[in-house]
Amino acid sequence: MDQKGYRRGSFQSSTSDEDMLEIAGASLDFPMADDDPPLDREMGGFSSYNGGEMNGTSKMMDFLEEPLPGVGTYEDFNTIDWVREKSRDRDRHREITSRSKESTWALIHSVSDAFSGWLLMLFIGLLAGSLAGLIDISAHWMTDLKEGVCLAGFWFNHEHCCWKSNTTFTDRDKCPEWKSWSQLIIGHGEGAFAYILNYLMYVIWALLFSLLAVLLVKGFAPYACGSGIPEIKTILSGFIIRGYLGKWTLIIKTITLVLAVSSGLSLGKEGPLVHVACCCGNTLCHLFTKYRKNEAKRREVLSAAAAAGVSVAFGAPIGGVLFSLEEVSYYFPLKTLWRSFFAALVAAFTLRSINPFGNSRLVLFYVEFHMPWHLLELVPFVLLGIFGGLWGAFFIRSNIAWCRRRKTTKLGKYPVLEVFVVTAITAILAFPNEYTRMSTSELISELFNDCGILDSSKLCEYVNDFNSTKGDDLPDRAAGPGVYTAMWQLALALVMKVFITIFTFGMKVPSGLFIPSMAVGAIAGRLLGVAMEQLAFYHHDWVIFSGWCSQGADCITPGLYAMVGAAACLGGVTRMTVSLVVIMFELTGGLEYIVPLMAAAMTSKWMADAIGREGIYDAHIRLNGYPFLEAKEEFSHKTLAMDVMRPRRNDPPLTVITQDSMTVEDVETIINETTYSGYPVVVSRESQRLVGFVLRRDLIISIENARKKQDGIVSTSIIYFTDHSPPLPPSFPSMLKLRSILDLSPFTVTDQTPMEIVVDIFRKLGLRQCLVTHNGKLLGIITKKDVLKHIAQLANQDPDSILFN
């Protein structure tokens, strides 16, 4: 694929306004990612709220009158007007409802329209669940492919291959059908040469997978890189990035996600799965007019799709819905809550029936603990919380610094090389350590696991004292040599994961953060857990253990520590709260363990917030300059609307259009001389009394159209925005009536309105702009970009970092 295509993909890491413009331009001749419907063509009759003829007798006129194509649509990299979109949907709904009384056909149409949302959710759930299953199975197989191949059939993964074989339980991992590469090539798996051969094959496969991934992303769907969550947040807040959720992105992201995960890079599939699910949602929206044509309705669907994505990523439907509500969505009406839940459930059950892990669980690391925890254990849990918070803050700072470096230096120009180098380093470092060699989710699964009597892994190599064992209840035991080796290996794995993840997240491959963060936390937690366990075993006479941890009792569950640590680190990085705890709760299934999880998550969030307010997604949004107005942060400054509005004190006055005295030429001059996306319409320049607001795009289209199709429209024709125009003498050129494109209900605030209220209005109503008045006279205008710039300025950031509008 050409450089242009790639550049468009790199818009995520573009730095300057010019850069952005070029990218936005490039997107126009990049057909593959541009598969959003041509909204400009088909508009139906639903822009009537702009018109003022709604009241009185002419109410039905708008539906009969064909509106101009293009009026009321958006350009790429623009912000939508939620109020208008929602109004339009209500008009549509009203029309269908009123028509439904007329005929049976219309009634059926009305009912099917009402149920189309549910049907869409069903499809999204089915598709997202199937794709997740496909990804799980393929990634599992390809991860194993790095180490060897199954002779019974190359399409079996290691576990599956050995299931087929009839070996005993303990030898399950060493069945004859599964051949490591050295066994296959030189006939045996022993010795240094075989080791080196396996090492080499491991690295080669890893490089192959990751290079294939980066080339596919670069070549076919530049938007498929990264986790996608920052962009989805921005899109859901009302921004338009055409193709970001298109079907090409869907296909390429699904394939490259498998490749990236299999390559053994320190990344997870959870964030990208959300992106994949949103792509499914967006693509399936095309099936239903209701959602295809309305940007606001489509965002409701995307919120639900995000929930389905998390649902399949973690097997946590409730957690998914809460994640969508808490972290991703901007407008989340309660209707969406119910539908999201439905989509999340369908997705989870589709995945379960695919059963990718062969354990009828939705995730690899589902666990069940049996032992209660003691109140005193809250101390180590809080310590894990502090660790999680510190790690989160450290990771965000370093990762953002590295990503900024990538954007501003030459580094960003060689994404393939970057992926090659990082994969090579990761693979070379990972192979010798068995805990980094295995896939990260397997690692987490092993760390979460509570050691049973039969567990043969190194982590469970305790000194067994069968005299004190009663039934299934294992007492705390002394650690054997295997555990000590495992501790060292885990500590090394921890160091490696901590650093390599910083460089991995943000590369041009699909990469999620959840799994690496959880791995870091799980390792730290397990280390602490085993330490606590040994402490309790050898020093059960200490005061702190007295009363709850006598000799021969099972008082510490290291697996629980791993889980708490994972929650803490994930919380520190993403700043999730309720959804995090609920996801973890759904993994364990016991209400019992919510308290440790909550303690760790709270500590971690407080700790991380004390160092830096932003979570990783918000940090990336800011890094990329997306116009995202954070809904959670309170605006805490004491400025007024007049301090933010344009024009500023010494600027030229606001460009306005008068309602009945400007000619076509005047207006065209204004359009050509300015770049504003809309103009206020006033009664007269002298009075500055506001009549309405007209969008640049609508104005250009209408004038062009009138010049072409309407007789007698010349440059000297006067444009009327009034309801009734005066009778003109015949010598005058015919006039152009444009009231239908005028927004007669623009939002206004007074100049004395505190900015906190203005910000609140922008957030809650989803405005694009707001006019400022003083004693009834129009003074200026505030756009979303102005608000964002103002916030950036107050936070001592460069206001020009806000790129888009």
Q: How far is the CB of 90 from its own copies (least distance, A)?
A: 6
Q: How far is the CB of 307 from its own copies (least distance, A)?
A: 11
Q: Could you say which residues in the range 711-740 bind its own copies, by CB under 8 A?
A: none
User: 748, 769, 783, 805: which one contacts its own copies (CB under 8 A)?
Assistant: 748
Mention every residue, 6+ apart, whose C-beta is less than 8 A from residue 125: 308, 342, 343, 344, 345, 346, 347, 349, 350
Give the span between the Cα atoms of 635 and 637, in whole angstroms: 6
Could you give the angle at which helices 378-408 and 558-574 cross, rounded to 10 degrees?
40
Letter for the amino acid at 352? R
Q: What are the respective helix, strand and coil percentages of the chain, to the nearest 5?
A: 60, 5, 35
761 counts as binding its own copies under rule CB under 8 A: yes
Nearer to its own copies, 66 or 643 (CB): 643
Rg of the chain's alpha carbons, rounded to an integer? 30
Residue 657 backbone dihedrals phi, psi, to 5 degrees: -115, 135
Q: Which stretch binds its own copies (CB under 8 A): 297-305, 667-675, 772-780, 784-792?
A: 772-780
760 counts as binding its own copies under rule CB under 8 A: yes
Q: Could you say which residues in the range 426-455 bind its own copies, by CB under 8 A?
A: none
Give the span between the Cα atoms of 125 and 118, in whole angstroms: 10
* Residue 799 burial by Cβ neighbours in a 10 Å radius (0-12, 13-18, 19+): middle
Find out whether 215 and 252 touch, Cβ atoms under 8 Å.
Answer: no
370 counts as binding its own copies under rule CB under 8 A: no
93 counts as binding its own copies under rule CB under 8 A: yes
Q: Could you say which residues in the range 683-702 bind its own copies, by CB under 8 A?
A: 683, 687-692
Give the span between the Cα atoms of 791 and 33, in whole angstroms: 33
Q: How far is the CB of 640 from its own copies (least distance, A)?
A: 5
Q: How far apart are the first and last CA of the chain?
A: 29
Nearer to its own copies, 54 or 491 (CB): 54
Give the span between the Cα atoms of 429 and 209, in whole angstroms: 17
Q: Could you say which residues in the range 15-54 bind its own copies, by CB under 8 A?
A: 49, 52, 54
Q: Could you say which residues in the range 640-669 bind its own copies, by CB under 8 A?
A: 640-643
636 counts as binding its own copies under rule CB under 8 A: yes
Q: How far is the CB of 293 from its own copies (least distance, A)?
A: 18
Give the span between the Cα atoms of 28 and 34, in whole angstroms: 8
Nearer to its own copies, 211 or 602 (CB): 602
User: 83, 122, 215, 491: which one contacts its own copies (CB under 8 A)?
Assistant: 83
Q: Which two tokens mark 421?
A: 């180098």
594 counts as binding its own copies under rule CB under 8 A: yes
595 counts as binding its own copies under rule CB under 8 A: yes
Nearer to its own copies, 262 or 688 (CB): 688
Q: How far is the CB of 318 from its own copies (least distance, A)?
A: 6
Q: How far is the CB of 749 from its own copies (least distance, A)?
A: 6
Residue 463 backbone dihedrals phi, psi, to 5 degrees: -80, 110
User: 188, 335, 405, 539: which one contacts its own copies (CB under 8 A)?
Assistant: 335
Q: Which helix (H) or strand (E) holds 750?
A: strand 748-750
User: 38, 55, 472, 711: which one contacts its own copies (CB under 8 A)?
Assistant: 55
CB count in 10 Å sphere of residue 668: 17
Q: Could you say which residues in the range 559-588 bind its own copies, by CB under 8 A?
A: 577-578, 581-582, 585-586
Question: H helices then E strands: how many in the chain?
Answer: 30, 11
Q: Which helix (H) or strand (E) holds 179?
A: strand 178-180
Nearest residue to 226 (alpha-carbon basis) of 575, 619, 805:
619
Q: Could you say which residues in the range 293-322 bind its own copies, by CB under 8 A?
A: 317-318, 321
Give the span between the Cα atoms of 783 and 788, in whole angstroms: 9
Residue 180 backbone dihedrals phi, psi, to 5 degrees: -75, 165
Q: How far is the CB of 782 from its own copies (least distance, A)?
A: 13
Q: Which two tokens mark 455?
A: 């567990």
Q: Could you say which residues in the range 97-126 bind its own copies, by CB under 8 A?
A: 97
User: 338, 394, 484, 499: which one contacts its own copies (CB under 8 A)?
Assistant: 338
Nearer to its own copies, 326 or 446 (CB): 326
User: 46, 291, 341, 431: which one contacts its own copies (CB under 8 A)?
Assistant: 341
DSSP codes joined into one string, 657-681: EESSSEEHHHHHHHHHH---SEEEE
Residue 98 backbone dihedrals phi, psi, to 5 degrees: -70, -35
Nearer to its own copies, 147 or 326 (CB): 326
User: 59, 188, 405, 539: which one contacts its own copies (CB under 8 A)?
Assistant: 59
Q: How far is the CB of 619 from its own copies (least distance, A)?
A: 18
Q: How far is the CB of 605 from its own copies (least distance, A)?
A: 9
Nearer to its own copies, 120 or 438 (CB): 120
778 counts as binding its own copies under rule CB under 8 A: yes
Q: How far is the CB of 116 from its own copies (least distance, A)?
A: 15
Q: Which stretch binds its own copies (CB under 8 A): 23-31, 294-302, 495-503, 754-762?
A: 754-762
Distances (CA, A) of 592 to 315, 476, 529, 560, 589: 19, 20, 18, 11, 9
Q: How far is the CB of 771 from its own copies (least distance, A)?
A: 10
Q: How far is the CB of 570 from its own copies (least distance, A)?
A: 15
Q: How far is the CB of 95 from its own copies (least distance, A)?
A: 10
Q: How far is the CB of 752 from its own copies (least distance, A)?
A: 4
Give the span between the Cα atoms of 553 and 536, in whole angstroms: 10
Nearer to its own copies, 151 or 386 (CB): 386
Distances (CA, A) of 546 to 478, 541, 680, 714: 19, 6, 75, 95
Q: Which two tokens mark 465?
A: 């004292």
